[in-house]
Amino acid sequence: MQKHITEQNLNALLDKLIAEGKRVVAPRLNAGTPLYEPLKNSGEMITDQLPRRSGKEAFFPLCEDIMSYTKEGQKVELKDIDPARFPETVLVGVRPCDAAAIPVLDAVFSWDYKDEFFLERRKKTTIVGLACTKADDACFCTAVGLSPSDTKGSDLFLTPLEGGGYACETFSDKGETLVNNHAGLFSEPNNAKAVALAEPGTEAFDLKKVKAWLDEHFEDPAWDSIATRCVGCGACAFVCPACHCFDIVDEGTEKSGKRRKNWDACGFWKFTHHASGHNPRDQQPKRYRNRIMHKFKYYDDKFGQTLCTGCGRCIRLCPVGIDIAAIVEEISKK
Amino acid sequence: MTQTIDTNIYAAVTEAIQSEAQRILAAGEVTAIVGYAAARRKGSAQPIVITSADDAQKLIFTPACVNNLAVYLTKAKKEIPKSGRIGIVVKGCDLKALVGLMGESQLKREQLYLIGVPCAGVLASTIQPDTGLTSDSIAPKCRECDAHLPQGCDFVPSQTPVTPELEKKYAAEIARLEALTPQERWAYWKEQFSKCIKCYACRQVCPFCFCEQCLCDRNKPQMVDTTPRPAGNTAWHIVRAMHLAGRCAGCAECERVCPMDIPLNLLNRKMAKELKELYDYEAGFDVHDKGPLNSYTEKDDQSFIK
């Protein structure tokens, strides 16, 4: 279904959804830092900046409670978190690089174990994508098979038009329901041209060739030259729309506490530190190798997909300038 | 008003670094050099370790050479060869960290070959690397730099940086926070710490965070909650600030790398100010055997005992 919506009506739509009690998550400024966060009103939404963290946290939060316990004398009580409590959500203004990562994550969260936290939120969330108009030289969505107008992952997709307003296209029942439930705010498509979209400068990688090299080069001196500089923080994984490793910890006292799920990162020394004291990834290049292997080989082996959407966040935020696009390009030329 | 900062000398500085690096590697005076190399993004730079004289021409110095490379010489970085003498490209601010590490018996002066950089400043963290250096794009720490020309190095290119006087932002911000009530100040830091995602980038780039196992990574017992929630975040940032008091010399790497824009160097500068007021002590230019928080004298202020 194709429609048109004015900026004013898009704001009215968001305010209406908020008034209905839905959680509306969109890019907004938090003390100057752009983040996907629940809006109090539509005026908070910004559309001109890529949020510092990705959209994955609408489904896979930085930290969430997964269970709680209380103990009194000999009586121990365990309480599950009821996923039914997750609110109906509309995730709006999602960049194509962020939206495209969500179906990629579906594969792992509904694989041998069905992660009810992720899947329940996923079920209850409608994703409104927004075509991207601004790229910098860290952006490389076009190198991994996506584009600034890619609709992958979006239920409804907005393309900004010359002269204002957005062209809307639906890609799922959820998208159609959203439009139908608020039909008065949408009009029939007009002939206005889309504004100039972003043009990332990177050429498409030959991902098959990259994978073929990775298949054969678990041990290779290249890993040292690539990642000796890595200092072992989790910044790349935490801002990544596709990284999804987590750690589970119990926090509290003997009497009561919570079991919590936190983001984790393969760059951390502790990530593979065994209880025995042994660490199979004892040096940083081995940890960084896992980052590349997981994104461009293991995930492909297991799910036939690439675990990178080219958002460029890890490149912009790496403390030591590690550039995954440059690394993958280098591998593709080997 | 935006002021342009002259970085014309950086090209000559780059050439001088390259020829010195070439010479000392070829002569076998060092086994490796830690420096900066150009990266893919326009104008960008990244740390590099070179071990061959042929690679000396990869070394550069530009306003994008933001890192404090001292972190690579600590025992936390096991990947860097520590045998023999190591060369390192250092700005004045980075040199202060090396001096501190020598004071803490982590490094020996004779094991280092210091290539000092005459520096007019480097870019702030969120700036595109190909941006020109101006009073707007310069890193906040460079606004109060007192080490444009590193002293006591083995080699320093002959160029002299032109360094205009810039407004000092940390001092002003500390004064603003000091004027708040404790409740207001607590509210400010609570908001800042609430942004923390526990990526530990601040810890990993810090030359003084060289503990073999960070207290915050221990779980027998669990000293600090690992979840990125108020209790664990606050504990982590207070542990960090206290542990760096009297040691941090202000390279501000923690603040530069924070993906969530937490003004971490403010905490460090405040602690440095306290140490100056209480013990007339400054981390930085001289190698001290022991910092004031590691030693006791009868003259120490004891007014806090009530």
State pLDDT tens for residues B86-96.
999 999 999 99
Chain A residue with Cα closest to B195: A30
Per-residue pLDDT at B289 exceeds 80:
no
Q: How far is B227 from chain A (nearest CA, A)?
A: 6
Q: Is residue B225, in this structure, part of any structural domain at all?
A: yes
Given the structure tokens 């017992």, which residue do they identify?
Answer: B221
The answer, for B163 touching chain A at a CB cutoff of 8 Å, is no
- Looking at residue B7, what is its pLDDT? 95
- Looking at residue A9, what is its pLDDT? 98
Question: What value does the mean pLDDT take over residues A56-69?
Answer: 96
- Looking at residue B53, what is its pLDDT? 97
Q: What is the mean pLDDT of chain A?
A: 96
Q: Is residue B183, in this structure, part of any structural domain at all?
A: yes
Residues B225, B106 within the same domain: no
Q: Is residue B299, in this structure, part of any structural domain at all?
A: no
Tokens of A270: 């502790």
Per-residue pLDDT at A22 exceeds 90:
yes
Interface with A, mutate which of B34, B69, B74, B79 (most A CBs under 10 A): B79
Q: How far is A233 from chain B (nearest CA, A)?
A: 5
Question: What value does the mean pLDDT take over residues B268-289?
Answer: 88
Per-residue pLDDT at B266 exceeds 80:
yes
Length of chain B (residues): 306
- Looking at residue A281, what is its pLDDT? 96
- Looking at residue B300, what is its pLDDT? 78
Chain B residue with Cα closest to A267: B199
DSSP calls for A290-317: HHHHIIIIIHHHHHSS-S-----HHHHH
Chain B residue with Cα closest to A226: B48
Nearest residue, CB atoms, A233 vs list B191, B200, B260: B200
Per-residue pLDDT at B213 exceeds 80:
yes
Question: What value does the mean pLDDT take over residues B75-95?
Answer: 89
Q: Is residue B302, in this structure, part of any structural domain at all?
A: no
Q: Is residue B306, in this structure, part of any structural domain at all?
A: no
Question: What value does the mean pLDDT take over residues B81-85?
Answer: 81
Instruction: Give me the percent of chain B exceeding a pLDDT of 70.
Output: 100
| Contact present, A56 and A35 (Cβ < 8 Å) | no
**Closest by CA position to B131, among listed B140, B139, B123:** B123
Interface with A, mutate which of B197, B223, B261 (most A CBs under 10 A): B197
Structural domain boundaries, residue B122: 9-144
Task: Give tens-digit pLDDT for B14-52.
Answer: 999 999 999 999 999 999 999 999 999 999 999 999 999
Per-residue pLDDT at B83 exceeds 80:
no
Residues B137, B175 within the same domain: no
DSSP class of residue A119?
A: H
Residues B41, B102 within the same domain: yes
pLDDT band, residue B260 (cuts 50/70/90): very high
Residues B188, B225 within the same domain: yes
Q: Is B47 in contact with A31 (Cβ distance < 8 A)? A: no
Per-residue pLDDT at B244 exceeds 90:
yes
Q: Is A319 in contact with B39 (Cβ distance < 8 A)? A: no
Nearest residue, CB atoms, B227 vs list A233, A260, A265: A260
Tell me which chain B residues have a C-beta less than 8 angstroms from the C-beta of A53.
197, 259
In this structure, what is the dihedral angle of CA atoms A222, B113, B14, B5, given to the nearest 10 degrees? 110
A82: exposed, middle or buried (Cβ count in 10 Å: 0-12, 13-18, 19+): exposed
The answer, for A201 touching chain B at a CB cutoff of 8 Å, is no
Between A and B, how many CB-CB pairs are < 8 A?
117
How far is residue B238 CA from its own chain's centroid? 19
Question: What value does the mean pLDDT take over residues A202-213?
Answer: 95
Question: What value does the mean pLDDT take over residues B97-103?
Answer: 94
Nearest residue, CB atoms, B229 vs list A53, A63, A231: A63
Q: How far is A71 from chain B (nearest CA, A)?
A: 20
Q: Is residue B182, in this structure, part of any structural domain at all?
A: yes
pLDDT band, residue B79 (cuts 50/70/90): confident
Q: How far is A313 from chain B (nearest CA, A)?
A: 10
- Looking at residue B278, what is its pLDDT? 86
Question: What value does the mean pLDDT take over residues A65-91?
Answer: 94
Per-residue pLDDT at B81 exceeds 80:
no
- Total domains, chain B: 2
Per-residue pLDDT at B253 exceeds 90:
yes
Q: Where are the domains of chain A?
A: 2-332
Question: What value does the mean pLDDT take over residues B121-135?
Answer: 94
Task: Give tens-digit pLDDT for B144-193.
Answer: 999 999 999 999 999 999 998 999 999 999 999 999 999 999 999 999 99
- Looking at residue A159, what is its pLDDT? 98
Residues B98, B221 within the same domain: no
Instruction: Give me the percent of chain A exceeding a pLDDT of 90.
Output: 94
Reported ipTM: the value is: 0.94
Per-residue pLDDT at B123 exceeds 90:
yes
- Looking at residue B294, what is its pLDDT? 82
The greatest distance separating any two alpha carbons of chain B, rounded to the nearest whole angstrom, comes to 65
Q: Is A224 in contact with B227 (Cβ distance < 8 A)? A: no
Length of chain A (residues): 334
Task: Give tens-digit pLDDT for A294-311.
Answer: 999 999 999 999 999 999
Tell me which chain A residues have a C-beta less than 8 angstroms from the C-beta of B80.
228
Task: Give tens-digit pLDDT for A271-296.
Answer: 999 999 899 999 999 999 999 999 99
Given the structure tokens 């060869």, which residue do they identify?
Answer: B81
pTM to 2 decimal places: 0.95
Task: Give tens-digit pLDDT for A96-132.
Answer: 999 999 999 999 999 999 999 999 999 999 999 999 9
Nearest residue, CB atoms, A317 vs list B42, B49, B259: B259
Question: What value does the mean pLDDT take over residues B196-224?
Answer: 91
Q: Is residue B138, in this structure, part of any structural domain at all?
A: yes
